[in-house]
Structure 1
Amino acid sequence: MDRDALTRTDRVPHGGTNDRSVVDFSANTNPESPAGVTPVYDAARAAARRYPSDGYAEFRTAAGEYLDCDSQQVVPTAGALAGIRLVCAIAVDPGDRVLLPEPSFGEYAREVRLQGGTPEFVPHDTIFEADPTGYALAIVCTPNNPTGELPGRCEREAFAARCRSADTPLLVDEAFLDFTDASSLGSQSGVIVARSLTKVFGLPGLRAGFLVATDEWREALETARPAWGLATPAAAVGAHCLECTDFLDRTRERVASERDRMADRLGSRFTVHPSDAPFLLVDVSSADDVGVDALLETAREAGYAIRDARTFRTLESHVRIAVRRPAENDGLLEALDV
């Protein structure tokens, strides 16, 4: 980490609220979790009186089977963000340029800056057409946060191939890919995939995730990762959740159905971006009678929190709304008068 960068790098605003009196549509996490999490957590909490086994064999096996990859390609991390920092720490030196989409998850640029690198932004809808030559690292988010689109497999693979030809490592954040039936880019040479278990399984405070990498990148990440970096309860619950395929199927069905229904209702008043993710990006500028601040306040007064998307680069009149359970979605839509 570049110590000089610490004085000129700010923290990044996020969704999520600690106010239990409101329904949280500002964070893109599943409102439901798989059955059986509590007894698994309780058993692991008792085992946490000892250090975890640093090999994480059970967790790696579950993750490998989940993504159909070699378990030795799995690098356990305390959430996807810990993995993103680990990749940036290895790939980015002071003065390096890193290719990023905009708007997208603000932590990418922050992590690059903390290493002394320079983020160079490309519009999110053209980044897969960008030339990765000369960059220390390229980062993409699939589906992209906050816009929600997921490029097709061919487009993603073509960009990965161009990165390999340019000798530019590619970090693919697949934190929301679990909400789709699309396949991962994991196990491709030169590609590092970051996965979050806390989004789709509704356990953001657990801090569980992993990276998938091959060849010299796998070796580098395995060497550099912190010892005991994944807590015993997180590893146990994570392994359990990764085996809950029926839960995933039900979640994907609900999210797809509710997302389409919410987009139709919201589209009667606002401009809604097409989304493959468990959230919708909404441009309120098409409604003459309301702005972002007023909409945030209207939602809050009715007991709902939605995300002020103006904190993302290039977005000036947008909110982001998560997809939750049908009754909760109905309540928010009614409060927003759509």
Structure 2
Amino acid sequence: MDPDSVDGLRASGGDGAADAIGPDGRVPHGSSDDPDLLDFSANTNPRVPPGSARTYREAFDAARSYPADDYPEFRAAAATFVECEPEQVIPTAGGLEAIRLAIQTTVRAGDSVLIPYPSFGEYAREVRLQGGTPEFVPHDELLSVDPSGHALAIVCTPNNPTGETADPSALRAFADDCLAAGTTLLVDEAFLGFTGEPSLAGREGVIVARSLTKLFGLPGVRMGYAVGAGTARDRLATARRAWSMSAAAAAVGTHCYGQREFVAETKARVAEERARMRERLAARFDVFPSDAPFLLLAVSDGDETVDEILVSAREAGIALRDARTFRGLDAHVRVAVRAPDENDRLLDALDV
């Protein structure tokens, strides 16, 4: 990471009004730290796999020693889940660290990077911290862009905050284009576990970033990994910090990836609730299509303002995500898909 780029990001506050980067150089995220609010601003599973707490407690004794730095059990479980080779799995403390590791091992100062918008604000931040230059492309047009001349292209699937899954055939064709152009493709699959689409993990020229946070509802444990092949994998493995995942995270992650029934139930529940919520919310908002555990809502002309909606929801004990912090969105909120009774509270609070 370039120290001058770090200082420059703090000084610039990002790329004008289009970037929600604060004076500390950080970007906003969903989640509320108010325990009295029902949190619809963060899109994590409200349920966790059975046995997770027991597994976490049982990892205490192991946590008194440094973990085995090769993480064989976790790597095997992750590889089985995404269908790649265990040695291609690079454990990290959450998906965001996997994204940072991928960008650090790919982008040099002065390089340009294709970044979708609206999408996760950390992509541009991490590129700028490396001294690279983000080139923003509408998320639904990125797969048709020529990747030549760019060090990296980033795709988020399903895209946050809009929720669409990238067309599988178009994504694979774009991966081929990137490989031919010598451009690394970083695919953020943080929400792909909620869909039935296969991972690109293990494909040559592609780095996949994965998080267990969303699907298994345990953001505080910090479980994630990158997957790479060939030279990309070697760079990831070389640059990875020693003991990059805690003993507890490795144990819980291994346990979670064995809970196939929980995953199937989660996918079915989210799909059913998302459809139900979409139908109700459409009476008041323009609702984006979504394959993810959240819905993006556009506030229609003549309706309340975003600020008024956020305030009224908060008065009802609910936190929503102000989606205006995403590049290109100026009158939007994002809501998570939670458990049925919680979703009913949201729908009632929004009067739909």
TM-score range (shorter-chain normalised) is over 0.9
- Name which of 159, 181, 184 aligns with 1:169: 184
Per-residue CA deviations over 1:226-254 (Å, capped at 9, x if unaligned) read: 00010000000000001101000000000
Matches within 5 A, 1:28-39: 28-39=43-54
Indicate whether 1:8 and 2:8 are aligned. Answer: yes
What SS does the aligned partner of 2:334 have? strand
- Counterpart in 2 of 1:325? 339
Cα displacement (A) at 1:111: 0.2
Among 306, 312, 322, the residue aligned to 1:298: 312
- Determine the C-alpha separation between the residues in 1 that align with 2:83 and 2:350: 42
Unaligned runs of 5+ in 2: 10-24
Match of 1:210, SS state, is strand
1:30, distance to aligned residue in structure 2 (A): 0.4
TM alignment of 1:1-338, pairs within 5 A: 1-9=1-9, 10-286=25-301, 288-338=302-352
- For 1:49-74, what per-residue CA distance to the aligned partner results, in whole angstroms no more than 9, with x for missing partners? 10000010010011111112111111
CA distance in 2 between partners of 1:164 and 1:289 (Å): 47
Q: Which runs of 5+ in 1 are unaligned?
A: none
Cα distance in structure 1, aligned partners of 2:345 and 2:314: 12
Structure 1 position 300, deviation (Å): 0.3
Q: Classify the secondary structure of the residue corresponding to 2:253.
A: helix
What amino acid does structure 2 have at the position aligned with 1:8?
G
SS in 2 for 1:15: coil
Separation in 2 of the partners of 1:148 and 1:131? 24
Report the CA distance between 1:105 and its aligned residue: 0.2
CA distance in 2, matches of 1:14, 1:198: 14
Decide whether the 8 Å contact of 2:115 with 2:154 is kept in 1: yes
How many matched pairs?
337
One-letter identity of the residue aligned with 1:312: F
* In structure 2, C-alpha distance between the alignment counterparts of 1:167 and 1:79, rounded to whole Å: 27
Q: Give the 4+ runs in structure 1 shifted more than 2 A.
A: none
Contact 2:76-2:86 at 8 Å conserved across structures: yes
Task: Report the Cα offset of residue 38 of structure 1.
Answer: 1.1
For 1:218 and 1:238, the matched residues in 2 are separated by 21
Give the letter for the 1:321 counterpart. Answer: V
Shift of 1:136: 0.7
State how far apart, in whole Å, the 2-side matches of 1:297 and 1:22 are.
Answer: 12
CA distance in 2, matches of 1:181, 1:304: 30
CA distance in 2, matches of 1:19, 1:114: 31
SS of the counterpart of 1:98? strand
Alpha-carbon deviations, 1:168-208, whole Å to 9, x = none?
A: 00000000001111110111100000000111000001101
Structure 2 contact 201–208 (Cα < 8 Å) conserved = yes
Structure 1: distance between partners of 2:154 and 2:303: 38
What TM-score do the two structures reach when normalised by structure 1? Answer: 0.99
TM-score using structure 2 length: 0.95
SS of aligned partner of 1:48: helix
Q: Whole-Å Cα distance in 1 between the matches of residues 269 and 245 of structure 2? A: 30
What is the alpha-carbon distance in structure 1 between the residues aligned to residue 6 and residue 169 of structure 2? Answer: 39
For the Cα contact (< 8 Å) 2:83–2:201, is it kept in 1?
no
- Is the 2:322–2:334 Cα contact (8 Å) retained in structure 1? yes
Letter matched to residue 71 of structure 2: Y
User: Partners in 1 of 2:106 and 2:228 — Cα distance?
Assistant: 13
Cα distance in 2 between the residues matched to 1:309 and 1:152: 24
Q: Look up the match of 2:16.
A: none
CA deviation after TM superposition for structure 1 residue 124, in Å: 0.7
**Could you tell me the percent identity over the aligned residues?**
59
